Amino acid sequence: MTQTDWSEVLSPEEYRVCRQSGTERPFTGVLLNESRDGMYICKCCGADLFPSESKFDAGCGWPSFFKQHSDNVGYREDHTHGMHRIEIFCNSCDAHLGHVFPDGPEPTGQRYCVNSVSLTFKGDGVEIKG
């Protein structure tokens, strides 16, 4: 899809975060406190990204996970805002998801810090868009 196509199917905030690598304000995401069993999928293309059993409360204000699902999450260096971070994105559609940090719980030690607005939660007959 072109950027124009994305801007027509996503809300302005979804577009800013997912297509322009923005960040939602902490503690505002719909999925921050979601605790049901299911799968967190890409808001843009529906690819499976994070299983609910890997979600944990990192206290940072964004949904956090200690592992990804399969190889659907990609990584690239991010040097914006005078920092060195690792950006995470959807390998299927290149949607910006957030960043990954090496301060998560075992068994991976990773903290995938994800914008709620870049996700949709699916589980037990319920679908919640972040």
Distances (CA, A) of 48 to 61, 88, 122, 126: 22, 14, 10, 15
Compute the average pLDDT of residues 120-130.
Answer: 89
Write the pLDDT tens digit of every residue in 44-81: 999 999 999 999 999 999 999 999 998 999 999 988 87
18, 42, 90, 113: which one is catalytic? Answer: 113
48-51: strand order across its sheet: 48-51, 39-42, 119-123, 126-129
Closest CA to 49 of 57, 40, 60: 40
CA-based nearest residue to 96, from 127, 81, 74: 74
Q: Which residues sit opposite 42 in a β-bridge?
A: 119
CA distance 14 to 31: 14
Mean pLDDT of 93-114: 97
For the chain, the domains span: 3-129
Q: How many angstroms separate the CA atoms of 77 and 100, rounded?
A: 10
- The CATH classification number of 3-129 equals 2.170.150.20
Is 113 noted as a catalytic residue in this protein?
yes
The encoded tokens of residue 111 equal 């903290």
